[in-house]
Structure 1
Amino acid sequence: MTRPFGLAPTLDEIETLALSALARLPEEFRVHLAGVAVRVEDFADQATLDALGIEDPFELTGIYEGVPVGEKFGAPNGTMPDRIRLFRGAILDEWIARGDESLEHLVAHVLIHEVGHHFGLSDADIHALEDSA
């Protein structure tokens, strides 16, 4: 992504990177993601941070909100639609701090991490899979 000096990628540009990463997932995963919305926001809202016990909004790059695939049958009526929210400010901060990774790769990494939660994986499970890959 070539940008004029000093301009950070927009919400729409981050969303484009995320949707591109989603489209590259194997079909057997994508079929289970058809109803999952992907949203990009500057930062997590205070209610989300409070619910997770996070004080610094730069510490949260993304979140999956919904009922994991394996638990859908027992989900109560009126459950909100599944969504993945990515947080531009925190992603850009991490990208700058890492310095050796493309923004496209980092956005894909955060998105896939949240997709893992959609499939019912814990953070520990996801990190173990990442370490073995």
Structure 2
Amino acid sequence: MSGNDWHDRAAPAIEDIEAIAQAAFAALPEAFRALTGGLVFRVADFADAEALASVGLESEFDLLGLFVGIGLPQEGAVPFTGRMPNQIWLFRRPILDFWAEGDDTLGAVVTHVLVHEIGHHFGLSDEDMERIEDEAD
């Protein structure tokens, strides 16, 4: 791209990150998606102070995504009632910062964050997640 190609472009908005995340999720293997149940995706510019504290971080740029809910390993034989759906939060500004500093496409970064937030919560190893990402490509 030349400098002129960027002249009229704005940074991807929250809605753009949501669309990228939905497309990334749809590209994941069906067996993996089936494990997530009614997972809801949310995008915010940054994590709030409570979320940062919950994972031991101080800088709002250090958290790219967060799973909130009860994962498959914690799910008991008796279903929970009256609870909010499981959620994946993606944080736009840290994602854009990470993307700007690297060589990966924005779609690859969002997919990586999404897979890791889902995968770690469901007890998958880094190797499992790398394989899933490779299959999504």
Alignment TM-score, normalising by the size of structure 2: 0.81
Distance 2:52 2:29 in 1: 32
- Deviation of 1:26 after TM superposition, in Å, equals 1.1
Q: CA RMSD in A?
A: 2.2
Distance 1:16 1:4 in 2: 23
Check if 1:48 corresponds to 2:42: no
Count of matched residue positions in the alignment of Structure 1 and Structure 2: 127
**Identity level (%):** 40
Check if 1:20 corresponds to 2:7: no
> Any idea what SS the aligned residue of 2:31 has?
helix
1:103 corresponds in structure 2 to 106
1:9 corresponds in structure 2 to 12
- Structure with the bigger percentage of helix: 1
- Deviation of 1:28 after TM superposition, in Å, equals 1.1
Matches within 5 A, 1:65-80: 65-73=68-76, 77-80=81-84
- Conserved? CA contact 1:95–1:102, under 8 Å: yes
> Any idea what SS the aligned residue of 1:33 has?
coil
Distance 1:71 1:108 in 2: 24
Extract unaligned runs of 5+ from structure 1. Answer: none
Extract unaligned runs of 5+ from structure 2. Answer: none
2:86 corresponds in structure 1 to 82
- Higher alpha-carbon Rg: 2
